[in-house]
Amino acid sequence: MIVLGIETSCDETAAAVVDDGRHVLADVVLSQLDEHRPYGGIVPEIAARSHLEHLDQVIAEAMRRARVDFPDLAAVAATGGPGLIGGVMVGVTTAKAIAAVHGKPFVAVNHLEGHALTARLTDGLDFPYLLLLVSGGHCQLLVVEGVGRYRRLGTTIDDAAGEAFDKVAKMLDLDYPGGPAVQRAAEAGNAARFALPRPMKGRRDCDFSFSGLKTAVRMAIEGLGRAPTTEEVADLAASFQEAVADAVADRCARALDTFRAEFPHGAALVVAGGVAANRRLRERLTALAASQGVRLVAPPLALCTDNGAMIAWAGLERFRLGHSDPLDFAPRPRWPLDPAARKARGAGVKA
């Protein structure tokens, strides 16, 4: 069974082909980073136009590399949301057109489900497992019980983790996107130099918060009374990164307790999303998993950040369970994985 997957919900134009033997036959990702860099963030209108301009070529390249033709496909999957609606519309419309022309089923995939199921593509992981999803738009802890069966244990009550990295990078006058730039700067820094808060640490729930930490970084910079030196930038980056890693590890420890009380044999903590690329965070999660006797599964970096393979795989998993979607499926700007989860408080909540 071979499935084409299309991802256009953010700033990557991506298409991939996977099969049910867990092989990624092709995975093509075109980043729009250079188009958004002058604005220091993603401009939705530019993103949508760029997807429209490049998606056909990206799909053709994926099909060519996979050495398959449209008639070989079992289904065509595309991200149906959540995300920037203009981009999602481009991907969904293109997938529907291919499906209609070639008489193939269309599968609308929840982008978050793509991240959530990646560990089954890369590691053949069985259900259930605990998932930490940390990206530019999301920061959630979910129990993954099956395809389409997610229970949210916690979410951010303000910013997503990646968003905090990006904003702190701006304050420190570092490159865009901020996460990798903060990590690079932190390498030379002293993480103990600035005492920053660990938001939500020790709380009984599994929620996250990053806006207070962001404010604390701003106040530390203002406290210097002048622009920070290169050394101070490194120390601020290291102190901030350490605070995030510490806070996230604490929230994961809390969630692992909850998860394992319910599933004593649940054996894995999975981390996905762009921030999962952070080396310090990975170190902390590796140590946490080891201390709790569970396995840490962190997909390779290329499959942590947005890509088409995760959409193709989630589409394949849904399709082989008998799910497909009508051609009048409407793209969804918001699409929670766990619709029953209580509403998170706070401004700017993404999930």
By the criterion CB under 6 A, which residues form the site for ligand KG4?
Answer: 10, 135-137, 162, 165-166, 177-180, 183, 273-275, 277-278, 305-306
Minimum Å gap between C-beta 270 and Zn ion is 14
| C-beta of 209 vs 258, nearer to ligand KG4 | 209
Name every residue whose Cβ is closer than 8 Å to that of residue 21 and which is 6 or more positions away in sequence: none
Q: How far apart are CA 230 and CA 299, in angstroms?
A: 33
Minimum Å gap between C-beta 302 and ligand KG4 is 10
| C-beta of 302 vs 321, nearer to ligand KG4 | 302
Q: How far apart are CA 280 and CA 161, in angstroms?
A: 14
Query: What b/e readout covers 213-226, taking b as 16+ CB neighbours within 10 angstroms?
Result: bbebbeebbeeeee
Residue for token digits 């401009």? 43
Minimum Å gap between C-beta 34 and Zn ion is 19
| C-beta of 7 vs 207, nearer to ligand KG4 | 7
Both tokens assigned to 171:
């304050």
Q: Give me the residues that bind Zn ion (CB under 5 A), please.
A: 135, 306
79 contact choice in ligand KG4, Zn ion, none (CB below 5 to 8 Å, kind-dependent): none
- The answer to whether 85 and 79 have CB atoms below 8 angstroms apart is no
- Looking from the CA of 14 toward its CB, the CA atoms found within 13 Å total 28
Minimum Å gap between C-beta 189 and Zn ion is 28
| C-beta of 50 vs 135, nearer to Zn ion | 135
Minimum Å gap between C-beta 100 and ligand KG4 is 28
| Closest CB to Zn ion: residue number | 306
Partnered with residue 5 across adjacent β-strands are 16, 77
Q: Which ranges of the chain does DSSP label H, i.e. alpha helix?
A: 33-36, 44-66, 85-102, 111-123, 161-171, 178-186, 211-224, 230-262, 279-292, 301-304, 309-320
| C-beta of 286 vs 292, nearer to ligand KG4 | 286
